[in-house]
């Protein structure tokens, strides 16, 4: 009864509960959430939920967990504003509001049979992690898989232990670079674009997925195009202010599209002209 | 729908219509004078209507003036539009109560009132149809809008005067009410007469019309007179704007120098978005009692002219006035077509009248068209 | 000598190099090897050489008193270390340290500058090879300066 009435309004959240909370960076926390429905919530990689901290507000957060585990909804949150800070503080057992899943995700079907080049920056690795779970679950369906990840500093590298674990399995090439490093960091230093020319993939038959701050994505896309990746083989995930997630609050407009409904993942050639303009 | 012959109603008949609507349980709202403007609010009888008044409108200017006759609908449109009833400025969406199990989400009940709108202009009928597309014909239906919209009874009025900032003819949205009403009136005032030609647009309109007193079948002369009134209004539009090429024109001129020019005048006050009958943008806000037992979320009209509107962590996507005006105007006249298959502008002229510095959307479009960089 | 010539010709930095130029450049080249942790050069020292990395990795560092050595770039096989030798006062503006065992070709700066002065075609060829490296490093430095992954860009960030 409660659920039925609560879900009738797309603006009313369903009630969920935090099951687990762990730290993934200086101000980054990952929550495992379970809904009241036993079978959880099916979602596609790249989609997002609107998460409510009761009494504080609601923000869009991408799924960062495994789509094969719909009863464990994983969201990685950077505590930057009042709502994300309140969400990041929620501990096990605490109630959380949830609306979703929303949006068009990564083109998983398109990736089959091709090399997959993934370039992420900062927290941009979180919305792509479900892609990696899917790729690894059916590793034989894909060609070379490369993950290039840029972070601010070694301490800011998201999901570091998981990346190291994947590295040891040799199923995907992983290169991580940081903007600056001190002390004992022995990996790459420099922007993530510098890793593209050295990566082992076939740019003419690859699909590229890009996620990170918009300025980083612009330069990564230039690097991918220079390497020979076609415009219609590059996908990116856009970030805009969102209040409703159903295309009716107007906030996330990006030219003709609503990022919440038509995105957040877009094929590059469809937004390239808008991306080149400022303050759209 | 039953075919109903056009009917002529006296002012007593119109009063009868208000009564019949009220008896059917409608909350009757229509034009009335408040704070020196004609706004939309509850009306108890036709004496609440702005009889004998008109409005004089120009860019950045709105004044009431006496008419030489006792017309009830002898003005254009004021600062209000019907969206304030269908898409309320502030609306609670839900509450969450803390209980033994944690929280309980309590949806907001549907409103227990049905609206009857009196005096809806052709431009505003189009505006309602546009918001229908946004809230009812999109991927997700907005139940709050639907609850208010579904049972609304609409009495349209064909415009007998064009306002100084009107341009519905340019936008193909008026001045005659063509669709989207239950009843449509044309006010006819002569030496000895004060009558209304009434056309029904729905079964509900037919039914209520049939039971009204002081009604008689319209004659050919009545129909001709009504047509002439609307034709005269169409010929006296305050503004004009070519609208067939707006989409391409604006989207290929996103870097036009005119955006810088208009940015020098625009105060980003957001008035245009508040008075616009189609602007639908909202924000949400959270509130809670001091004990944190009950929290609630409300939806509030928002404006793309604010810095917060496009805020993502770190800053606003559209931090300049130029980009915010461009967003508003290109959305209204261009990208709206991509999103909803229609223009977002109905030519009502409110944004021109209520802009404190008189920025004129028709003038801005024309300026961009006149000097297109190659 | 023949080994050096082959290494230089095959190094990506000198892709498509004219044979005559190759001979001139070879005259200024020698093989070098750095153990992990060993410095190629330090900030403030005369920029007497530049290096073509063959194997291994080199980090470029700036020393800040309160933070220690801050690495702002790492370079690997196929890349070139050092551009300060090109322009007066020919002094290094950072430290370069081998992160792992690194083999490289060191090119004598004074020798090469002299040959470039004598043969401007050689000088122009070298400039055309160095300029993209300079521009690319400038662009990446700009991106690093933007601190795009910081939660609150352009504001103090913990």
pLDDT by 10s per residue, chain C, length 158 = 568 999 999 999 999 999 999 999 999 999 999 999 999 999 999 999 999 999 999 999 999 888 888 999 999 999 999 999 998 999 999 999 999 999 999 999 999 999 999 999 999 999 999 999 999 999 999 999 888 888 665 444 44
Instruction: Supply the pLDDT for residue A10.
Output: 92
CB B358 within 8 A of CB B367: no
Residues A43-69: tens digit of each pLDDT: 999 999 999 999 999 999 999 999 999
Question: In sequence order, which residues have a C-beta less than 8 Å from that of residue B208 and are 6 or more positions away?
Answer: B17, B20, B21, B24, B182, B183
The stretch B179-191 carries a mean pLDDT of 95
Instruction: Supply the pLDDT for residue B102.
Output: 78
Same domain, A88 and A113: no
Q: How far is residue A173's CA from residue A119's CA, in Å, rounded to a whole number?
A: 12
Measure B284 CA to nearest chain A CA, in Å.
7
CB B173 within 8 A of CB B213: no
Report the domain count for chain A.
Answer: 2
Q: Is the pLDDT of residue A4 over 80?
A: no
Q: Across the beta sheet with C80-81, what order do the strands follow?
A: C29-34, C102-108, C49-55, C80-81
Q: Is residue A272 part of a domain?
A: no
Answer with the one of A44, A78, A102 that is the final residue of a domain.
A102
Q: Is residue A224 part of a domain?
A: yes
Same domain, A159 and A142: yes
Burial of C135 (0-12, 13-18, 19+ CB in 10 A): exposed
A122 touches chain C (CB under 8 A): yes
Q: How far is residue A94's CA from residue A18's CA, in Å, rounded to a whole number?
A: 6
For the domain that residue A232 is a member of, what is the CATH number? 3.40.50.80
Instruction: Supply the pLDDT for residue A156.
Output: 94
The stretch B209-223 carries a mean pLDDT of 89
The stretch B269-288 carries a mean pLDDT of 97
Optimal mutation site among B313, B314, B315, interface C, most CBs of chain C within 10 A: B314
Q: Please, which pLDDT band fits residue B269 given cuts at 50, 70 and 90?
A: very high
A219-222: list long-range contacts, CB under 8 Å, 24+ apart.
A219/A191, A219/A193, A219/C139, A219/C143, A220/A119, A220/A121, A220/A192, A220/A193, A220/A196, A221/A268, A221/A275, A222/A193
Same domain, A208 and A141: yes
Residues B35-78: tens digit of each pLDDT: 999 999 999 999 999 999 999 999 999 999 999 999 999 999 99
Which phi and psi (to 5°) does residue B318 adopt? -110, 90
Instruction: Supply the pLDDT for residue C156.
Output: 45
Same domain, A43 and A135: no
A5 touches chain C (CB under 8 A): no
- Kindly list the residues from chain B whose CB atom is less than 8 angstroms away from the CB atom of residue C154: 314
**Of A9, A243, A278, Cβ closest to residue B283:** A243
Instruction: Supply the pLDDT for residue B5.
Output: 82
Q: Is the pLDDT of residue A5 over 50?
A: no
Q: Is residue A260 part of a domain?
A: no
Instruction: Supply the pLDDT for residue B100.
Output: 78
Same domain, A115 and A232: yes
A113 touches chain C (CB under 8 A): no
Instruction: Supply the pLDDT for residue A142.
Output: 96
**Is A240–B312 a contact, with Cβ atoms under 8 angstroms apart?**
yes
What ipTM did this prediction achieve?
A: 0.91
Instruction: Supply the pLDDT for residue C1.
Output: 52
For the domain that residue A90 is a member of, what is the CATH number? 2.40.30.10
Nearest CA in chain B to C148: B314
Q: Is residue A213 part of a domain?
A: yes
Same domain, A125 and A224: yes
Q: Give the tokens for residue A75.
A: 């969201």
Query: Could you tell me which chains touch chain C, where touching means 3 or more CB pairs under 8 A?
Result: A, B
Nearest CA in chain C to A218: C143
Instruction: Supply the pLDDT for residue B1.
Output: 52
Q: Is the pLDDT of residue B191 over 90?
A: no
A184 touches chain C (CB under 8 A): no
**Is B335–A253 a contact, with Cβ atoms under 8 angstroms apart?**
yes
The stretch B202-220 carries a mean pLDDT of 90
The stretch A230-246 carries a mean pLDDT of 96
Q: Is residue A18 part of a domain?
A: yes
Optimal mutation site among C148, C150, C153, C155, interface A, most CBs of chain A within 10 A: C148
Q: Please, which pLDDT band fits residue B138 given cuts at 50, 70 and 90?
A: confident
Instruction: Supply the pLDDT for residue B293.
Output: 87
Domain ranges of chain B: 7-88+111-234, 246-282+304-370
C93 touches chain A (CB under 8 A): no
Q: Is residue A248 part of a domain?
A: no
Same domain, A96 and A150: no
Same domain, A47 and A27: yes
Q: Please, which pLDDT band fits residue A14 given cuts at 50, 70 and 90?
A: very high
Q: How far is residue B226's CA from residue C29's CA, in Å, rounded to a whole number?
A: 98
Same domain, A135 and A226: yes
**Of A8, A78, A97, Cβ closest to residue B107:** A8
Instruction: Give, in order, the Cα–Cα distances in Å from A137 to each of A65, A207, C15.
Output: 13, 18, 41
Q: Please name each of the domains of chain C with its CATH number.
A: 2-131 (2.60.120.10)
The stretch B151-162 carries a mean pLDDT of 96
Strands B61-66 and B90-99: unpaired
Stretch 272-331 of chain B: residues touching chain C, C-beta under 8 Å: 313-315
Residues A206-234: tens digit of each pLDDT: 999 999 999 999 999 999 999 999 999 99
Instruction: Supply the pLDDT for residue A145.
Output: 97
The stretch B26-30 carries a mean pLDDT of 98
Q: How far is residue C88's CA from residue C84's CA, in Å, rounded to a whole number?
A: 8
Instruction: Supply the pLDDT for residue C157.
Output: 43
Instruction: Supply the pLDDT for residue A171.
Output: 93
Q: Is residue A275 part of a domain?
A: no
Domain of A158, in residue numbers: 108-237
Instruction: Supply the pLDDT for residue C85.
Output: 92
Same domain, A97 and A113: no
């Amino acid at each position: 009864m409660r659920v039925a009435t609560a879900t009738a309004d797309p603006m009313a959240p369903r009630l969920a509960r935090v099951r687990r909370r762990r730290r993934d960076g200086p101000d980054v926390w990952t929550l495992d959430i379970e809904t009241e429905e036993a079978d959880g919530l099916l979602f596609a990689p790249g989609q997002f939920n609107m998460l409510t901290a009761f009494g504080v507000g609601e923000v869009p957060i991408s799924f960062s967990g495994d789509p094969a585990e719909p009863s464990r909804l994983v969201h990685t949150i950077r505590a930057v504003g009042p709502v994300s800070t309140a969400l990041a503080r929620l501990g096990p057992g605490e109630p959380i509001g949830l609306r979703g899943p929303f949006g068009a995700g990564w083109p998983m079907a398109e990736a089959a049979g091709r090399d997959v080049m993934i370039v992420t920056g900062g927290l941009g690795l979180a919305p792509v992690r479900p892609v990696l779970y899917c790729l690894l679950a059916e590793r034989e369906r894909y060609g070379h898989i490369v993950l290039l990840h840029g972070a601010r500093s070694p301490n800011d590298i998201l999901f570091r232990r998981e990346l190291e674990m994947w590295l040891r399995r040799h199923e995907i090439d992983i290169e991580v670079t940081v903007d600056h490093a001190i002390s004992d960091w022995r990996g790459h230093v420099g922007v993530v674009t510098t890793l593209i020319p050295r990566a082992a993939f076939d740019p003419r038959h690859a699909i590229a997925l890009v996620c990170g701050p918009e300025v980083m994505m612009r330069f990564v896309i230039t690097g991918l195009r220079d390497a020979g990746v076609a415009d219609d083989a590059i996908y990116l995930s856009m970030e805009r202010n969102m209040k409703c997630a159903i295309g009716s609050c107007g906030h996330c407009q990006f030219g003709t599209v609503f990022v919440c409904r038509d995105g957040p993942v877009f094929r590059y050639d469809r937004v390239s002209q808008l991306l080149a303009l400022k303050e759209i | 729908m039953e075919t109903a012959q056009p009917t002529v109603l006296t002012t007593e008949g119109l009063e009868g219509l208000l009564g019949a609507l009220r008896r059917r349980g409608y909350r009757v709202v229509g034009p009335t004078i408040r704070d020196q403007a004609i706004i939309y609010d509850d009306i108890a009888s036709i004496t609440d209507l702005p009889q004998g008044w008109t409005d004089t409108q120009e860019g950045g200017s709105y004044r009431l003036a006496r008419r030489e006759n006792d017309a009830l609908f002898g003005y254009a449109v004021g600062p209000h539009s019907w969206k304030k009833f269908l898409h309320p400025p502030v609306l609670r969406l839900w509450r969450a109560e803390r209980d033994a199990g944690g929280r309980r989400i309590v949806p907001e009940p549907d409103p227990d009132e049905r609206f009857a709108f009196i005096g809806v202009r052709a431009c505003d009928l189009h505006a309602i149809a546009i918001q229908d597309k946004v809230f009812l014909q999109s991927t997700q239906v907005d139940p709050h809008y639907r609850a208010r919209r579904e049972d609304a009874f609409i009495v349209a009025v064909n415009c007998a005067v064009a306002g100084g900032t009107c341009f519905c003819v340019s936008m193909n949205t008026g001045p005659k009410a063509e669709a989207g009403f239950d009843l449509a009136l044309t006010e006819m005032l002569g030496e000895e007469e004060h009558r209304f030609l009434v056309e029904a647009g729905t079964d509900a309109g037919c039914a209520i019309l049939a039971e009204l007193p002081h009604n008689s079948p319209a004659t050919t002369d009545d129909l001709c007179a009504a047509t002439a009134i609307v034709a005269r209004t169409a010929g006296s539009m305050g503004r004009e704007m070519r609208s067939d090429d707006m989409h391409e024109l604006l989207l290929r001129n996103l870097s036009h120098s005119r955006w810088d020019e208009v940015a020098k005048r625009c105060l980003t006050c957001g008035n245009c978005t508040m008075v616009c009958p189609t602007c639908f943008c909202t924000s949400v806000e959270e509130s809670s009692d001091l004990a944190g037992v009950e929290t609630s979320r409300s939806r509030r009209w928002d404006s793309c002219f604010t810095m917060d509107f496009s805020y993502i962590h770190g800053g606003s996507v559209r931090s300049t006035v130029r980009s915010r005006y461009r967003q508003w105007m290109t959305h209204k006249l261009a990208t709206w077509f991509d999103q909803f298959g229609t223009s977002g502008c109905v030519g009502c002229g409110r944004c021109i009248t209520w802009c404190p510095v008189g920025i004129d959307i028709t003038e801005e479009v024309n300026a961009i068209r006149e000097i297109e960089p190659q | 000598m023949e080994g050096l010539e082959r290494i230089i010709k095959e190094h990506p930095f000198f892709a498509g190099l004219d044979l005559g130029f190759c001979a001139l450049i070879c005259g200024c080249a020698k093989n070098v090897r750095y153990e992990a942790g060993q410095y190629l050069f330090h900030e403030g020292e005369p920029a007497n050489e530049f290096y073509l990395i063959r194997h291994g990795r080199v980090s470029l560092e700036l020393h800040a008193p309160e933070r220690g050595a801050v690495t702002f770039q790492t370079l690997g096989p196929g890349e070139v270390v050092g551009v300060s030798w090109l322009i007066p006062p020919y002094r290094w503006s950072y430290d370069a340290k081998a992160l792992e065992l690194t083999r490289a070709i060191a090119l004598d700066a004074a020798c090469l500058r002299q040959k470039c002065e004598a043969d401007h075609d050689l000088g122009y060829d070298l400039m055309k090879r160095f300029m993209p490296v300079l521009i690319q490093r400038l662009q990446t430095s700009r991106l690093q300066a933007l601190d795009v992954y910081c939660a609150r860009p352009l504001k103090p960030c913990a």
